[in-house]
């Protein structure tokens, strides 16, 4: 299961938001800060549909925003050139990145 990826594409007006994470993170609560707060990793946001690496990369090419969580997803995004090592942070100790496409028009 640790090599599986789930993804959901959200469309809001002209925006295409790709949310993808390692499947084994769904249902976890990730700690944020030191005051006991957590962030839930939900299938509502990240989806339930398992996708291939190729599907993830295809979707990222079309995204205006991406929210990526988990070592497998981030490795794929990094290998495909969407994010560099300095663009990867952590959320509750799990690799995380947000990518935004900026229009030059």
pTM of the predicted protein model = 0.91
Domain membership of residue 105 (yes or no) is: no
Quote the CA–CA distance of 21 and 44 in Å, as a whole number: 12
Domain membership of residue 14 (yes or no) is: yes
Q: What is the pLDDT of residue 1?
A: 41
- Which helix (H) or strand (E) covers residue 21, if one does? strand 15-22
Residue 57: give its domain's CATH number.
3.30.1860.10
Q: What are phi and psi of 38, to 5 degrees?
A: -135, 160
| pLDDT tens-digit readout, 71-95 | 999 999 999 999 998 999 999 999 9
| pLDDT tens-digit readout, 17-55 | 999 999 999 999 999 888 889 999 999 999 999 999 999
């Amino acid at each position: 299961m640790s090599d599986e990826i789930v993804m959901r594409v959200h469309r809001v007006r002209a925006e295409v938001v790709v949310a993808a994470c390692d499947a084994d993170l769904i249902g976890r609560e990730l700690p944020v800060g030191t005051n006991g707060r957590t962030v839930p990793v939900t299938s509502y946001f990240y989806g339930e549909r398992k996708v291939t690496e190729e599907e993830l990369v295809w979707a990222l090419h079309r995204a205006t925003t991406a929210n990526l969580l988990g070592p497998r997803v981030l490795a794929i995004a990094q290998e495909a050139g969407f994010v560099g090592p300095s663009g990867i942070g952590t959320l509750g100790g799990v690799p995380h990145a947000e990518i935004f496409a900026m229009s030059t028009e």
